[in-house]
Amino acid sequence: MTDQSDAARHAAHAYVDLLERRDWSGLAALLTDDVVYEMPQTRERVRGRDAFLRFNTEYPGDWHLRPRRVIADGRLAALLLDVRVGVEQQDACVWLEMSAQGLISKIIDYWPEPYDPPPGREHLVERW
């Protein structure tokens, strides 16, 4: 388990670092041929390394990624990212699955948006 976790942790760090540096050949080397990328909020799925790389190279905006948490456990990893595009900031939750060969075989991205809290719990919370 520990060796697998170490490999998954390393891949998760490399995934963010290579995206941030737009190192597309480095990123490609991390991925299985048939990697699947899913965005459950829009029910969108991208199949295959070539389409996933193109999705990223075509993604608009001067986006920047900084890992806030990287957690690895066997063949699974999770990343909490600080994402910035200009002055806009958003957190992203990313879930990775590794193949038996230590390549990333599945990526699930969540992009939670700010919203107004529902009324009725003001007595229990503080805002920041």
Site residues, a second copy (CB under 8 A): 1-2, 5, 9, 39-47, 51, 54-55, 58, 60, 69-73, 76-78, 80, 91, 93, 95, 108, 110-117, 120-121, 124-128
- Do 75 and 68 contact (CB within 8 A), yes or no? no
Residue 61: count other Cβ atoms within 10 Å of its Cβ.
10
- Select 24 or 95, whichever has its Cβ closest to a second copy: 95
- Select 25 or 122, whichever has its Cβ closest to a second copy: 122
- Select 17 or 91, whichever has its Cβ closest to a second copy: 91
User: CA angle 108-19-65, nearest 5°?
Assistant: 80
What's the min distance (Å) between Cβ of 32 and a second copy? 17
Tokens 């992009």 locate to 111
- Pairing relation of β-strands 88-98 and 104-110? antiparallel
